[in-house]
Structure 1
Amino acid sequence: MIYLLKFGASFVLPPGIFFVCFWLLSFYLWRRREVRAAVALFLVTGIFYLMSTQLVSSMLMGSLERSYEQPAAPAGDVIVMLGGGATADTPNMGELGNVCAAPASRLLAAAELYSRLHVPVLVSGGQVYEDSGPEAVIARRELMRLGVPEADILLEPDSLNTRQNAVFSGRIMKERGLARPVLVTSAFHMERSVLNFEKEGFQVTAYPTDYRTNRRQVFHYNKLMPSSAALDDSVIVLREKLRYLVTRYLE
């Protein structure tokens, strides 16, 4: 009963309610003999509905996250952690600023890798917007709280996107004679990140983290209910694929 209530509620709240309205509109157009418009609206709405289901978004996200496997025994002379968003003025144990969910997972992975490899951690990420936080600066503070010595943390605080992550981090690594980076970022972000670092002449060891979907998928009818979270995952996959193509062929 609980699952049925959740399923029904998903079509009363956004985005489900919009799909219902558009399907009703397509039925209305069909009744008015505007067949082409009705079919087009029905199909487009159907595509957006499918992209908003966990069934489809998990398949899309899973295919992207499997681009690189997490190595059992990574090796390198520097750990490069890419930022992914931070707040500027939210409270954090007496200080201000927090890393967002995705970079928090990356940060934990970087700290764990440091405990195993004992090589410098290079944190890359600037203040992307006026009201966002300085990603690298906040991440350094959190790494220190997790036991990484300040002397072993390198900052790249100027990059605003993945391309700049690679370019600016590459300069720091070349200046310090570091050539074998272990790259830490979200699994969905790894394919494009590796490409950017390869363009800067680095063969990285990919260490994906922040997985958004299970490897093993089990069908349940609730995976057919629309949600903004599932739509967001589908859009992330499409965005990553588009940016990958732009990076490979246009940059």
Structure 2
Amino acid sequence: MFFNLSKLLSFFLVPSNILLLVLLVALGFWLLKFRKTAATLGIASITGMALAAWSPLGAAALGTLEDRFARPPLPSDVAGIILLGGAVDTHISHDRDALTLNEAGERVIETRMLAERYPDAVVFLSGGGGHLFHDGTLTESELARQTLIAAGVDGDRIEMEERSRNTCENASETTAALGDRASGTWILVTSASHMPRAVGCFRAASFAVIPYPVDFRTKSGNINWSATASSGLAAIDLAAHEWIGLVTYHLAGFTEELFPSPDQ
């Protein structure tokens, strides 16, 4: 129920969608001769769109997430590396019959590098599909497995679960699949902006992991102005997705901390 509802509501919680919908409502009021209301909504929408597109607001909100967990010194030996889903475009991979990474593809690349650094470590892939309707495409884990094997990782080292559909289920399904082995030292690989929510979910599952953030979108400690409207809107949309996710997961009881930190 939570998964289905979150997917249905996600469209209406994206800032760029909200601002465009307000503009369409303004157009409707204009056609209905409510000119003052239409003008107010139209100006608010265009102003909001401009701020989201060209100001550093989105990058600042995203950078706060990305700066939460710095890359830690890595131990000399680990039991395994956990790669969370979200780096492979399952639909395009299926349609084109070609492995296709999305903008978070660094997750797979960095996992490959860690696998080389720790040749005896298990590589565990977590991710079924985050789509509302299953259309017969291969799971994120299976496509990531194929990508890693093509990049030179021994397939015998790779384990995976293909049931999880969101971050909360990533943590619970991974913990269940690993069983007693979860008490070992495991590195968690996911996008830097996603790491606070991911760590919160794994802590709630009593699984202590070493956060290894990748896929950074902002410069640390700097004001990031957007060079293009599309990049600014993408930043604020991604930031909103993660901040709303943090609040929602905490209210739903999926995490114990609202904004998990390295000190907790």
- Give the TM-score band, short-chain normalised: 0.7 to 0.9
Report the alpha carbon displacement of residue 76 of structure 1 after superposing the two structures with TM. Answer: 3.3
1:78 aligned to 74, 77, 80, which one?
80
Asked if the contact 2:218/2:224 (under 8 Å) is kept, the reply is: no
Percent of aligned pairs with the same amino acid: 26
- Structure 1 spans left out of the alignment, 5+ residues: 1-14
Asked if the contact 2:188/2:210 (under 8 Å) is kept, the reply is: yes
Report the alpha carbon displacement of residue 219 of structure 1 after superposing the two structures with TM. Answer: 6.9
Counterpart Cα distance in 2 of 1:81 and 1:125: 9
Letter in 1 for 2:159: L
Residues 185-204 of structure 1: per-residue CA shift (max 9 Å, x gap): 00111010000101100121
Query: How many pairs are equivalent?
Result: 220
Report the alpha carbon displacement of residue 37 of structure 1 after superposing the two structures with TM. Answer: 6.5
Report the alpha carbon displacement of residue 152 of structure 1 after superposing the two structures with TM. Answer: 1.0
Asked if the contact 1:156/1:169 (under 8 Å) is kept, the reply is: yes
1:1-251 matches, within 5 Å, as 38-39=39-40, 41-53=42-54, 55-74=56-75, 76-84=78-86, 85-87=88-90, 88-91=93-96, 96-102=98-104, 104-118=105-119, 119-129=121-131, 130-131=134-135, 132-176=137-181, 178-215=183-220, 217=222, 223=226, 227-251=229-253
Counterpart Cα distance in 2 of 1:219 and 1:107: 26
Counterpart Cα distance in 1 of 2:74 and 2:218: 23
- Structure 2 spans left out of the alignment, 5+ residues: 1-15, 254-264
> Structure 2 length normalisation: TM-score?
0.72
Asked if the contact 1:77/1:178 (under 8 Å) is kept, the reply is: no
> Structure 1 length normalisation: TM-score?
0.75
Counterpart Cα distance in 2 of 1:136 and 1:101: 17
Asked if the contact 1:83/1:125 (under 8 Å) is kept, the reply is: yes
Letter in 2 for 1:69: A
Residues 70-129 of structure 1: per-residue CA shift (max 9 Å, x gap): 1232563221100104234255xxx64433231x21011111111122310100111344
Asked if the contact 1:81/1:110 (under 8 Å) is kept, the reply is: yes
Asked if the contact 1:70/1:207 (under 8 Å) is kept, the reply is: yes
Letter in 2 for 1:49: A
* Larger displacement relative to structure 2 (127-136 or 191-200): 127-136
Runs of 4+ in 1 over 6 A off after TM superposition: 34-37
Residue 8 of structure 1: aligned partner: none
Residues 141-174 of structure 1: per-residue CA shift (max 9 Å, x gap): 1111222211111111111111111110111121
Residues 13-60 of structure 1: per-residue CA shift (max 9 Å, x gap): xx8xx99xx6xx89xx9xx9x777645643443223211225322222
Aligned residue for 2:195, secondary structure, equals helix
Counterpart Cα distance in 2 of 1:86 and 1:240: 19
Letter in 2 for 1:143: L
Q: 1:178 to 1:151 in 2, by over 3 A?
A: farther
Counterpart Cα distance in 1 of 2:122 and 2:55: 38
Asked if the contact 1:76/1:205 (under 8 Å) is kept, the reply is: no
Say what the alpha-carbon RMSD is for the aligned residues. 3.0
Counterpart Cα distance in 1 of 2:100 and 2:37: 50
Counterpart Cα distance in 2 of 1:190 and 1:206: 7
